[in-house]
Amino acid sequence: MSKNQQAPDDLELVRTFVNTRDIEQGTEALSTPAALGNWLSGAGLPSGQVRPTAGDLRNALELREALRAILLSHGDGSPEPADAWRTLDEAARRARLHVRFGTEGAALLESAADGVDGALGRLVAIIHAAVADENRWRRLKACRLHTCEWAFYDHTKNRSGAWCNMDVCGNRAKARAYRERRAQGAGA
């Protein structure tokens, strides 16, 4: 992973959460409830010890793939999928998110739930803050190459980044397009 793929501040947690599944390598970091608990704890998301259930794992994977679908739309310009946002709404409800005002006038979105729901609620709160700054949120993307779909933060000035790594995925996509054009020309 190149450092320039990293998202700013807490948004990096969302990016790394999406990347717990590596499509290209065929690996899954959240393969069991215990693995989910370890990842959440390692990311510092739960307020205490968590013991995820199979249902918690299912909810976490649904949230992750909904996020990936939204990030793919950021990369290809398509509309954000409504069903993915409904999945985020469900995670917010389970987390019992509420607004708390700090002593210095800050408004914070916090989870009233414990355990995995609370930990996933912290991710949803980070997303909420990023959505409020659309420029920041729309820069979090997933690679257009469907054999990759790695989440990355687009640091380009004009938000035109399409691939997680131009030297790898960008070249693969361009080579595939070239071969398709040649095949079409040969068939004419």
- What length is written for the chain? 188
Number of domains the chain is built from: 1
Span 67-106, pLDDT tens digits: 999 999 998 888 889 999 999 999 999 999 999 988 888 8
Q: What pLDDT does residue 1 have?
A: 44
If residue 150 lies in a helix (H) or strand (E), which one and from where to where?
none
Span 42-56, pLDDT tens digits: 999 987 789 999 999
Instruction: Give yes or no for a contact between 165 and 155, defined as CB atoms under 8 angstroms apart.
Output: no
Lowest-confidence range among 69-83, 120-134, 145-159? 145-159
Lowest-confidence range among 2-16, 89-103, 165-179? 165-179
- pLDDT above 70 for 11: yes
Q: φ and ψ at 177, to 5 degrees?
A: -60, -40
- pLDDT above 90 for 128: yes
Residues 6+ away with beta carbon under 8 Å from 63: 87, 88, 91, 120, 123, 124
What's the rounded Cα separation, in Å, for the pair 178 and 76? 19
Helices (H) and strands (E) in the chain, counts: 7, 6
Listed residue (133, 101, 126) closest to 45, CA to CA: 126
> What range does the domain containing 68 cover?
3-187
Listed residue (68, 65, 63) closest to 92, CA to CA: 63
Q: In this structure, what CATH number is given to the domain that contains residue 138?
A: 1.10.3300
Where on the phi/psi map is residue 165: left (φ > 0), alpha (ψ -120 to 50), or beta? beta
Q: Which residue has the higher pLDDT, 34 or 135?
A: 34
| pTM for this predicted structure | 0.85
Q: What pLDDT does residue 74 have?
A: 93
Q: Which residue has the higher pLDDT, 47 or 133?
A: 133
